[in-house]
Amino acid sequence: MTSENSTDPVVIKKYANRRLYNTQKSSYVTLDDLAQMVRDGQDFVVKDAKSGDDITRTVLTQIIFEEESKGQNLLPIKFLRQLIGFYGDSLEGFVPGYLEESMENFTRNQDKLREQVGAAIGTNPLMTNFESMTRGNVEWMENAVKMFSPFANNQPETTSKSDSETETSQKNPELDALKIQLSEMQAQLAKLVGGS
């Protein structure tokens, strides 16, 4: 148990035949095994067995590709296009830190959501709390996108809170898309809570 809690990451070696070897457990592993290690919070580093180069980023990207090809579809097409657009852009250096901070913020809210699910199984106030957290995440994300968008200053901001929802929808189709995604996430959460 002490080896799993140690600060040193597990070393995974990748051989020319594309096989992955867990040096801690002295056994071959698959991308699915590495994905499970990530879910379990177990840190690892992947090294090319011949050169010793750190290829962790490439392997993690492969895991994401595999998960997406299985139909998980966590990454929206619009997000992928925007991400690709940042390669070679003057803001390219800021994107990794921004994405890391965004995911940490989301993870903190996810932990709160899990706590609320555990405390409120079978009750509907959970949906209200989930909507509130999601709204906060959406606002945070919209502000961040405005900050990184080169055309942010050219877009009118809606400062009046008395505008009707239909006017907001007509002005911001992206907000409608986020609302649809929120509804889908709520439906999935309801299934999870119902299945517990």
Domain ends where: 69, 98, 117?
69
Identify the H or E element spanning 178: helix 173-195
Same domain, 111 and 188: yes
- Residue 110: the pLDDT is 80
Give Dmax (Cα) for the chain. Answer: 64
CA separation for the pair 192, 196 (Å, rounded): 6
Same domain, 94 and 166: yes
Residue range of the domain that includes 8 = 2-69
- Residue 152: the pLDDT is 47
- Residue 3: the pLDDT is 43
Q: What are the structure tokens assigned to 194, written together?
A: 């119902």
Domain ends where: 36, 53, 69?
69
Domain ends where: 43, 69, 95?
69
Tell me whether residue 46 is exposed, middle or buried, using C-beta atoms within 10 angstroms of its C-beta: 0 to 12, 13 to 18, 19 or more.
buried
pTM > 0.75: yes or no: no
Same domain, 92 and 189: yes
Number of domains the chain is built from: 2
Q: Which residues of the chain register pLDDT less than 50? A: 1-5, 152-153, 155-163, 168-169, 196
Q: What are the structure tokens assigned to 21, written together?
A: 């070897």
Same domain, 99 and 36: no
